[in-house]
Amino acid sequence: MSAWTGAGRRIAGRRIAGRRIHIQEVGLRDGLQAECRFVPTADKIALADLLSGAGLAKLEVSSFVSPKAVPVLADAADVFAGIARAPGVVYSALVPNVRGAERAVAAGVGEMNLVMSASESHNLSNLRMTRAQSFAGLADVAALARRHGIAVNVSLSCSFGCPMEGDVPQQDVMDWCARFVDELGVQGITLCDTTGMAYPTQVHALTEAVRARWPGIELTLHFHNTRGMGLANVLAAIDAGADRFDASLGGIGGCPYAPGATGNVCTEEVVHALQLMGYDTGVDLARLLQAAVRLQDLVGHDVPSQIVKAGRRLDLHPRPAA
Ligand code: COA
Ligand code: ZN
């Protein structure tokens, strides 16, 4: 460990060394749903198993949405049937409605990730419902999950801005969190920066406010690197007390044919940076990189990952012969 990551190292008065940061892989869902190519089920299963063994806290394995809406994830049940379940890893899936929840129960998911948007326009365009309609539907999903003893997380899209409405007031986000946490008893909330509009000071303020009001919930931050602020936002959130992040292997996501669309913050970039700083991510970076290289073959194109391109900081090159 270098002098910079020594035991007493602090940023803004907070201890770093050994502080646990949980990394949750969403590449199999958020990443692959944006790919145009269908990745064969056996390859998805092999990739999930490789990632399980790399020390990630949670894997979002797939989504139980309409197979017509997202055909590349139509094999969700088969993927769940094929994966090994490593102890300590939570196997989550995105669930949009009761129909999806029933399929998720049958598949044996460890957690249901429910989605709605903090912005009315985005909710209408993505889910074709008002936010009030979404909330009513998700209340039924949460009740179904509870009857089956399955954990529920709610992902609030556009918590940091909407591509149609612009700024989303912090109070709106807090109010929707309150409805899920206080009314429905949901234990996990993810604040999603769906289109990469978040910036560090904003992230700090919202994270601090949610942490202060609901210190007991499992809070996740979900950033996309659309405008190059992904890693800066992760660090700002950590500084405000967050300890859980979604990230996607290789930084995949965003349809290659949609201009400006980009993936989540890249798992190996986040892990690489946090480990250098002395945080404990629990992740085996070498193993993660093996998975990222393999991912390139599966999706059929280069991935955005800077670590795949440049190597780790201390992957040294030979000196020129004297
Ligand atoms: N699982 C399987 N099939 C589903 C389903 C689910 N969870 N939800 C809906 N369907 C089916 C419907 O039964 C219908 O089938 P049919 O045409 O054979 O009758 C078909 O999908 C189309 O339904 P749709 O017209 O979209 O209306 P809906 O209100 O039933 O479904 C959504 C709305 C939002 C659930 C659906 O459009 C969807 O899953 N979209 C994907 C959202 C997504 O993944 N976004 C990205 C992540 S945030
Ligand atoms: Zn996302």
Q: How confident is the model at residue 4 (pLDDT cuts 50, 70, 90)?
A: low
Q: For residue 17, what pLDDT is reported?
A: 75
Look up residue 40 and give its DSSP letter. Answer: P
Residues contacting 166, CB < 8 A, separation 6+: none
Ligand 2 center from residue 300 Cα (angstroms): 21
If you average pLDDT over residues 142-160, what whole number do you get?
A: 98
**Ligand 1 contact, 127 CB (< 6 A):** yes
Q: Domain-by-domain residue ranges, the chain? A: 15-310
Four-point Cα dihedral 246, 250, 252, 256, nearest 10: 170
In degrees, rounded to 5, the angle at the alpha carbon of residue 112 between the alpha carbons of residues 188 and 146 is: 80
Q: What's the confidence (pLDDT) of residue 1? A: 46
Pocket of ligand 1 contains residue 69 by CB under 6 Å: yes
Q: What is the pLDDT of residue 192?
A: 97
Closest C-alpha to ligand 1, atom 11: 66
**% of the chain beyond a pLDDT of 90:** 88
**Predicted local distance difference test score (pLDDT) of residue 24:** 98
What does the buried/exposed string (b/e) look like for 251-283 if buried means 16 or more CB atoms within 10 Å of the residue's CB? bbbbeeeeeeebbbbbbbbbbbbbbebbbebeb
Q: How many CB atoms lie within 10 A of CB 43?
A: 14
Is the Cβ atom of 64 under 6 angstroms away from ligand 1? yes
305-309: average pLDDT: 95
Number of the ligand closest to the Cα of 117:
1
Which atom, in ligand 1's list, is nearest to the CA of 155? 48
**Nearest alpha carbon to residue 198 among 177, 224, 172, 164:** 224
CA distance 250 to 293: 8
- Tally of CA atoms within 13 A in the half-sphere of 267 that contains its CB: 38
Residue 100 alpha carbon, nearest atom of ligand 1: 7
Burial class (CB in 10 A: 0-12, 13-18, 19+), 306: middle
Name the active-site residue from 162, 192, 255, 266: 255
Q: How many CB atoms neighbour CB 55 within 10 A?
A: 18
What CA–CA distance (Å, rounded) separates 85 from 35? 25
List of long-range contacts for 310-319, beta carbons under 8 Å, 24+ apart: 312/272, 312/285, 313/272, 313/276
3-state secondary structure of 181: helix
Say if ligand 1 is within 6 A of residue 125 CB: no
Long-range contacts of 295-303 (CB under 8 A, 24+ apart): 295/27, 295/47, 295/249, 295/250, 295/252, 296/250, 298/39, 298/43, 298/47, 299/32, 299/35, 299/37, 299/39, 299/250, 299/252, 300/37, 301/256, 303/249, 303/250, 303/251, 303/252, 303/266
pLDDT for 166 beyond 50: yes
255 annotated active-site: yes
pLDDT in tens, 180-198: 999 999 999 999 999 999 9
pLDDT of residue 38: 94
Q: For 102-126, what is each residue's pLDDT tens digit? A: 999 999 999 999 999 999 999 999 8
196-252 pLDDT, tens digit each: 999 999 999 999 999 999 999 999 999 999 999 999 999 999 999 999 999 999 999
Q: Whose CA is nearest to atom 9 of ligand 1?
A: 66
Nearest CA, atom 45, ligand 1? 126
Q: How confident is the model at residue 253 (pLDDT cuts 50, 70, 90)?
A: confident
The bound ligand whose nearest atom lies closest to the alpha carbon of 245 is 2
Q: Which atom of ligand 1 is nearest to the CA of 95?
A: 7
Tens of pLDDT, residues 71-84: 999 999 999 999 99
The response to whether residue 100 sits with its C-beta less than 6 Å from ligand 1 reads yes
Our answer on whether the CB atom of 68 is closer than 6 Å to any ligand 1 atom is yes
Residue closest to 245 by CA, chosen among 262, 269, 270, 227: 270
| Ligand 2 mean position, distance from CA 223 (Å) | 7
State which CATH number among 3.40.50.10170, 3.20.20.70, 3.40.47.10, 3.40.50.2300 fits the domain covering 15-310: 3.20.20.70
Q: Is 97 in the pocket of ligand 1 (CB under 6 A)?
A: yes
Summarised one tens digit per residue, pLDDT across range 21-57 is: 999 999 999 999 988 889 999 999 999 999 999 999 9
CA of 34 to the centre of ligand 1 (A): 17
For residue 129, what pLDDT band results from cuts at 50, 70 and 90?
very high
At 5, the pLDDT band (50, 70, 90 cuts) reads: low
Task: Give the DSSP H/E element, type plus range, for residue 154.
Answer: strand 151-157
